[in-house]
Structure 1
Amino acid sequence: MDHSTLSFLFHLLTLAAYVSALPATFLQDFRVTWADTHIKQLQGGAAIQLTLDQSSGCGFASKRQYLFGRVSMKIKLIPGDSAGTVAAFYMNSNTSGIRDELDFEFLGNRSGHPYTVQTNVYTHGKGDREQRVNLWFDPASDFHTYSILWNHYHVLFFVDEVPIRVFKSNQARGIAFPKSQPMGVYSTLWEADDWATRGGLEKIDWRKAPFHAFYKDFDIEGCPNPGPASCASNPNNWWEGPAFRQLSAIQARKYRWVRVNYMVYDYCTDKSRNPVTPPECLAGI
C-alpha cells in the first residue's frame, strides 16, 4: 500500500471521529426538550420555527454531547417589538455545580432599537463573564450565522464569521478553561422581561404575541461523547490546526472593529461588579 493510499485512509478515519456533514433534517441531530407544540418543522425538517406566547416558550437540544469542535446555526430572530424575549443558543455540560457553558443570548428590543447579543462563559461552575454587543444589522430581516469554535487554545464566538468574543486558554495562569467536560448544544426561546431589555425596564407586549424565531443549517463538527476516546486529543482534527489557534490578521481587525464600535457592556471593565479586574481579562486576546 503506497503512501498516498495510507494518507487517504487516515483522512477517512479522522473524518469518522466526528460529525462532519450538515444533517438533512433537524431531528437527525436534535430533539425537542420542552413544549413540542411550540416547535414546528419547516421545509421537510430542514428548518424549524420556535414560538413564544403567554402559555409557553420552547427549547431543543442535541442528541449527543461533544468535546471540542465547532457548532453553528443560521437564525432569524423575532421581528418588530421583541422586548423582554430571549432566544438562546448555547453549549452546556449539564453538570450541576461545576458546569461548563458557552452562551449566545439574543436580547429582544423595542422596535427601532438594535438587537443586543450577550455572550457568557462558564468554566468549572464559574460564570458572570457577560459581554454585550449591539448587532450591526437587523437580525430579524434575514438569517445570519452564529458559531462557537472550541479547541485547546480558545473559545471563539462568531457572527457571520466576524469574531465578537475570545476566551483564551490561560491555564498556566491558573485560569480555568473548559477542556474535559463534553457539552450538548441547546437553544431556547423564552420570556425574560425581568432583565433582558434595558435591565428589565422594558416588558413584553403580549399583544404582539405569538413571537417566532427561525432556525436552519444546523451544523455540529466535533468529537461526540460517547465516541472514540482519542478524538478530543487528536491534533489532526481540523479545528485544532494552526489556522485556528489564534485570530488571523483579518479576524483580529474585525474583532477590534466590533469591540470599538458595538460593545455596550464588558464585565472586565465593570468596576462595580469587579473592583479587581478578573485575571482572564488581563491576559488579552
Structure 2
Amino acid sequence: MDNSWFTITAVDETTFAISEYGHWEQVHSFLLLGKDRAALIDTGLGIGNIRSITDQLTTLPILVLTTHVHTDHIGSHGQFEAIYVHEADRDWLVHGIRGLSLEQIRRDIGRDITIKTPEGFNPAAYTPFQGEPAGLLRDGEQLDLGGGRTVTVYHTPGHSPGHLCFYDESRGFLFTGDLLYDMTPVYAFYPSTDPAALTRSLARIAAIAGVRRVYGSHNTLGLEPEILREAGRAAVYLRERGLDHFGTGIHRFKGFSVQF
C-alpha cells in the first residue's frame, strides 16, 4: 500500500482498518466491502487523503457512514459524494461543529504529531469539511452492501447529538465510534455533549447480541466483547449513583473510562 501516513490493517478479507497512528488521537476509519457496494465508516483527520487509500482497496461505490460530526471523523468527507449522517448532526456538517472554534481545531489538528505528514498539510490553513449530506441515517436502518453483508444503524447520542454505532451482524463486528474505546477517556463534558444520553447509549450497545469484536475509533484496534458487559455495568453504576451529569469528573471501569 503506497502511503506513509495511514496504516492499513486487514481485519478480514473484506474489512480494513485505516489508522492514523502518527497523530495523538490515533484515529481509525473502517472500510467494509460487500458484493455490490462498500461502506466507509468515517474519513479520518483529513491530514492525509483517505480516498487515495480506498481507491487502492476497492472499485466498488462507497457509502460514507459518519459516526458523528467531529473534525477527526470527517476530515476527508470532501473526497466522496455519498456522505450519510444522522439528522441530529446534520446541522454541524452543513454549518460547522458547535462549540469548537476554528482556532482550537487548528491547534488540535497540528499538535503532538509523531511522523512526517503528507506534503501540503498546513495546520494553520486547515479547514474542516462543511457540506450537505447525500442522505440521513435513521436508528434501526439496515444498509445492504450485497453478498449477505448488512450494516445496522444504532443512534447512540451523548458524545454528540447524532452519534451513531454500526453493527455488522454477519461478522459480529460492532463499530462504536467515540462511544466506547480504551486507553483515554470517552468524553461528554462539552456543552454540546450529554452525559445522561451517553450513559443510556452505553447500556444500549451492551445489550446487542452476538458481538465478537468491538472496534472503537481511537487507540487499541479491536477489543474483546467483554468490554460491552463492562459498559452495561458502568451504565448502571453511573445512573444509580447520580454521576451521569456534567462536572462529576473521570469514572474508571475495567478496560475503559468516561469523563463528564
User: TM-score category by the smaller chain?
Assistant: under 0.3
Normalized per residue, the structure richer in strand is: 1
